[in-house]
Amino acid sequence: MLAPLLHVDSSADREASASRQLGTLFADEWRRSGGTVRHRDVSAEPVPPLREAYARLGRRVERKGALSLDDIAALIADDDEQREWDLTRPLVNEVREARAVLLGVPMYNFGVPATLKAWIDRISFPGVFADPATGRKLLADKDFVIVNARGGGYGPGTPRETFEFQESYLRAYLGDKGVERLTFVSQEFTRVGDVPALDGLGDLAAASREAARSRVVELARAIR
C-alpha cells in the first residue's frame, strides 16, 4: 500500500474552485492506486496565526540547535507556549509522515491565500524538518505537487509575468526547506466568462484546463 498523501486545500471557493477540482482529481487517482489520503482544508478550518509565545519558544529552540520534537516539547516554559506547540506539532507530523504532499493553491492578489500562508508559517517552526542527529533535511525524500489556479495568464513572456508571486514564492520556500522533488501544475484563465477583459480567451482556458487535468492524473500514477 502506498504511504499517505497529505492533501492541503486553501481555496475559499468550495463549489467552482479550479485548484480544488485538480486536487480532487489527483487524490482520487492516488486512492485508486491503493494509497490513503489525509485531507486538510485550511480555508474551512483555518490554522490560527502565530502568537508571541510561538516566537519565544522558537528562539529558545534555535539557541539549542537541532532538536527532536520531544526535546522541543521539553523546553516549553508556560501555558501559552504549550498552546502554540499543541497547534503546531500535529501539522508538522502530518507533513513528516506523508509520502507526498499535494497543495491546492489559487492565486489571490498575485500570491497565495492567507489561509495557506498561516499553515506555512506554523509548520515552519525552527528545525522540525531536519534530522537532529545528522542535519539531513527530512523533506528531501518526499514528492511535493502544487496545483495552481490563476484567473488570467502569468506565464513567461506574458504581460503579467512580473505579477506572479504564487509559484515563485512556493518554489523559493519549499526549496529552502529542502524539498528536491517539486512539481507545479498550473491551470490558467480560470476567470474567462467572469471577467470581460478575458473575453475571447475561451480556447486558451479550455486548453489549459485539459492539460492540467491530464498532468495531475499522470503524476498521481507516477509517484510511488
Read off the pLDDT of residues 43-98 as tens digits, 9 standing for 90 and up.
999 999 999 999 999 999 999 988 999 999 999 999 999 999 999 999 999 999 99
Q: Domain extents for the chain? A: 5-47+94-222
Classify residue 144 by its DSSP letter.
E
Task: Say what the pLDDT of residue 104 is.
Answer: 98
Q: CA quadruple 121, 123, 127, 129: dihedral positive or negative?
A: negative
| DSSP β-bridge partners for residue 146 | 103, 184
| Stated pTM of the model | 0.95
Q: How far apart are CA 8 and CA 135, in angstroms?
A: 27
Residue 190: what are its φ and ψ, rounded to 5°? -70, -15
As annotated, the binding site includes: 11, 17-19, 107-110
Residues of the chain with pLDDT under 50: none
> Over pLDDT 90: what percentage of the chain?
94
Which pLDDT tens digit goes with each residue over 149-159? 999 999 999 99
- Please give the CATH topology (third level) of the domain spanning 5-47+94-222: Rossmann fold (3.40.50)
Classify residue 13 by its DSSP letter.
-
As annotated, the binding site for FMN includes: 11, 17-19, 107-110
SS3 call for 96: helix
